[in-house]
Chains A and B, each alone.
Chain A
């Protein structure tokens, strides 16, 4: 039985839209195991972003519990919630959300600012992470000098800065062209395999979602459907298309030549 990183118990979120009550999440139960790579899909208004906000301690549920790394975070005061976000969660945004006046390395160092790490440790760690996402040599570039794909890589490195229990990605491929989309999903998948990073990715994009392990379909604030993704095969180093043996470094299956 694998360790549970994140679990929700009958989580509900109700908004008031004027006088109308909107149930964005309704008694949702979800379990994310350590080392999983999950996609949450669903049509607009199905509650994807609300779920991500609640999971990420950005918003409080109206009812139910969110247990992250064994701690109930559902009603945590902001003073503590910010520490949970800093230490346990890594966020990736659709629009990357890098600080334009900081270079790549400084952006990656940001979440480490109020931690115990020394300045030199932060700097070293930021360099390592940028190397990990394939941005060696671009540490001193500011966001405007990086391509969209590169900016999202910096954002991924930033999300991993404090070695979080889980990475929450909100439409990470939403602002990228198809080539970069593939690269980013592949990067997340590889980090999942090589670093054991747990990733929950909200996406519209079924192709991107298909590269995860488990796809959850959200409808009316509930998980309506669950499906296996290609990633579960790749994790076992088997080509999901032809069943041939593959390496993590392979970009294409040596046998069927399909993109992995």
Chain B
């Protein structure tokens, strides 16, 4: 068997294994960058789209709920428990336990963490009810468990884990005359009965579907919360309340107060004015009554218009986040284009320098080949072939690296969407974060498609050829008399 140009190229490359290896590693990184960047761009676009979808559904749902409660004046134990405290039973950001910062905010009673730093005494119900024009007062107590559950959130920037409360208890005053008219309980019952329809108020709970799945109980089953056994009367679907992963437990106010060691305390008082036209006067009277507490920040009183204003703030924060996500996507595309060009040029340059070096080193060999009758063209072919084989090998390695490390590489190389928005932090930040994390947990990270792989292999061949063009031409121009230079 005669040895052809291909075999000679392979043998030549394998002659200097370390060099070949280094070149292949260097080239493969450029190629890996090339293939992971498009994947990163796509991932960023998808994240932005999801953010947008969530925005629409959540803001609209919230607005609708606010609009249904025009007569509601919410009296809460702190300014922190804003509008979403009732419409969304998810904990406010104050009680998020990010891993690494143990302990909840304002820890209360060992097993539970107050969502607010203080509680209102139940005596407030009597005081407020003296105000004229009130149709109903619905007290409730909302407390998050100090037990947490880890939740992994994938973002274009990578995965990170946060600790969320395992569940949030809402104790509801189960006064049957008020329940239908002034809803505080979830409406979307999946199975069993709602709390206001049970035969007994004691030791029964309405639980969110995700929590019953977590505990593995069904309707009529027993569940133990902080040492006390409860019977699951009904299961509700939390998903209609925005994208928040709500783990809610509803029980009677009395049970909640005992369980969480909060006898005599409530966290929120839903005060319903008799009609919308007197909301302002009722509000003013309550505000006057508790002006010092409100001033001290221990209590907040919000009306429909306050909540609407808050929503508008949230919308502004969210719009910021969306805009920043959109500009990130645009920025990603231009950065990606630049980086791909850099990678392309780098790949060609690496091939160029290595092949130039090889040609210089092998001047005598080339001279000899010409002296024994090789044409310039066959010399050129030989060296082009070597360059292409090198970059093709690098292409295969690069596809491996790129496929495995696409997310990491594109995370490093591309700007990623900031789920907190430009004015993240505070309540709004938490809200937006909750939305985007809900989306991110179902979003895809950078994935390399077979099409991109094929393109990368094609690029490797072309870049190898381009990079070795000049060195191969130089080789082909070698004077055959070089064969007789013996130094």
Contacts and interface: CB of A to CB of B under 8 A. Distances in A.
B341 interface: no
A113 interface: yes
A93 B3 contact: no
B203 interface: no
A149 interface: no
Interface stretch (A3-11, A28-36, A99-107, A243-251): A99-107
Contacts of B8: 99, 101-102
A163 interface: no
Given A85-B372, A114-B378, A158-B372, A58 B483 contact: yes
A101 B3 CA distance: 11
A52 B370 contact: no
A53 B2 CA distance: 29
Given A93-B483, A109-B3, A83 B12 contact: no
Most buried by A among B2, B11, B364, B374: B2
Nearest to B484: A170
Contacts of B364: 95, 97
Most buried by A among B372, B373, B374, B486: B373
B375 A82 contact: yes
A91 B371 contact: yes
B376 interface: yes
Given A97-B364, A101-B11, A106-B3, A58 B480 contact: yes
Contacts of B480: 57-58, 82, 85
Contacts of A59: 479, 481
Nearest to B481: A58
Is the contact region of chain B dominated by helix, strand, or loop, or is it mixed?
helix
Contact of B481 (A53, A78, A114, A123): A53
B346 interface: no
B477 to A, nearest CB: 9
A221 to B, nearest CB: 17
A83 B373 contact: yes
Interface in A15-54: 49, 52-53
Nearest to A158: B372
B365 A123 contact: no
B370 A82 contact: yes
B224 to A, nearest CB: 76
B376 A106 contact: no
B451 interface: no
Interface residues of B, number: 26
Interface string A144-161: 000000000000001100
Nearest to B365: A99
A110 B4 CA distance: 9
Contacts of A101: 8, 11-12, 15
A127 interface: no
A86 interface: yes
A93 B479 CA distance: 15
Q: How large is the interface on A (under 10, 10 to 19, 20 to 34, 35 or more residues)?
A: 35 or more
Nearest to A159: B372
B1 A114 contact: no
Interface in B350-375: 364-365, 368-375
Contacts of A82: 370, 373-376, 480
A257 interface: no
A94 B483 CA distance: 10
A106 B2 contact: yes
A111 B12 contact: no
B372 A110 contact: yes
Contacts of B483: 58, 91, 93, 97
B486 A119 contact: no
A103 to B, nearest CB: 9
Most buried by A among B1, B12, B369, B372: B372
Interface in B7-22: 8, 11-12, 15
A180 B375 CA distance: 33
A162 B373 contact: yes
A79 B375 CA distance: 7
A183 interface: no
List of 8 A-B pairs having minimum Cβ-Cβ separation, nearest first:
A86-B373, A101-B11, A97-B368, A119-B2, A58-B481, A58-B480, A106-B3, A111-B372
15 contacts: A56-B371, A58-B483, A59-B479, A82-B373, A83-B375, A85-B372, A86-B374, A87-B373, A93-B484, A95-B486, A100-B15, A101-B12, A109-B3, A110-B369, A114-B373
Interface of A: 49, 52-53, 56-59, 78-79, 82-83, 85-87, 90-91, 93-95, 97, 99-102, 106, 109-114, 119, 122-123, 158-159, 162, 170
Interface of B: 1-4, 8, 11-12, 15, 364-365, 368-376, 378, 479-481, 483-484, 486
